[in-house]
Amino acid sequence: MIAIIDYDAGNLKSVEKALVSLGEKPIITRSREEILASDKVILPGVGSFGDAMEKLHQYELVDVIREVTDRKTPFLGICLGLQLLFSGSAESPGVPGLGILPGEILRIPDAPGLKIPHIGWNSLDIKEGTRLFQGIENGSYVYFVHSYYLKASDDGIVAATTEYSTCIHASVEKDNVFACQFHPEKSSDVGLRILKNFAELS
């Protein structure tokens, strides 16, 4: 069973629909018991860092998420869900994140001819041997919507990067924790393959 954590994030249903199309039977829940009983857990996210952390605290999900990752349950953060895994964000100064992975969330620098937020399709430079991108060609395109980006402290956890004004750490993997800045559920066949790879992790 795959649990999609419900903390009033915007892209719950699209993630659920993508998983159902792969033959999975996900549940959308904020129940501690259901989340901890699941084989895999997804933290989606659309919106601001500070608001999201407030909701996670409101629904008493912060310790649940930490327990899931400590248990080595496969865990996937999507878009804002990636950013929340880190210690904080320039979007919401002074608001602590989950602190599960090392790195910082910065605003995408202004650059001539580039609009922020970054909305659209960008190609990925994929590191060899990553589990989330198994069977996916380097240079494949995925769909982004964001104004802030990850700069990981440890290059060893970076699974894929993209270029938009700067080098964006677009995906990370560390042990059982995976995350994507882009939206796999909106990234056509490539995105579905990424979600399939996650669903089939053992």
Active-site positions? 79, 183, 185
Query: Is-cis flag, bond preceding 117, omega within 30?
Result: yes
DSSP-assigned beta bridge partners for residue 149: 106
**For residues 179 and 201, what is the distance between their CA atoms, to the nearest angstrom?**
14
Q: Which residue type is seen at 155?
A: D
Q: Look-up: residue for tokens 């999900």?
A: 61
**For residues 76 and 177, what is the distance between their CA atoms, to the nearest angstrom?**
6
Q: Are the CB atoms for 171 and 160 separated by under 8 Å?
A: yes
- Strand boundaries in the chain, DSSP class E: 2-5, 27-29, 40-43, 75-78, 103-107, 118-123, 125-126, 141-146, 148-152, 158-164, 166-174, 177-180
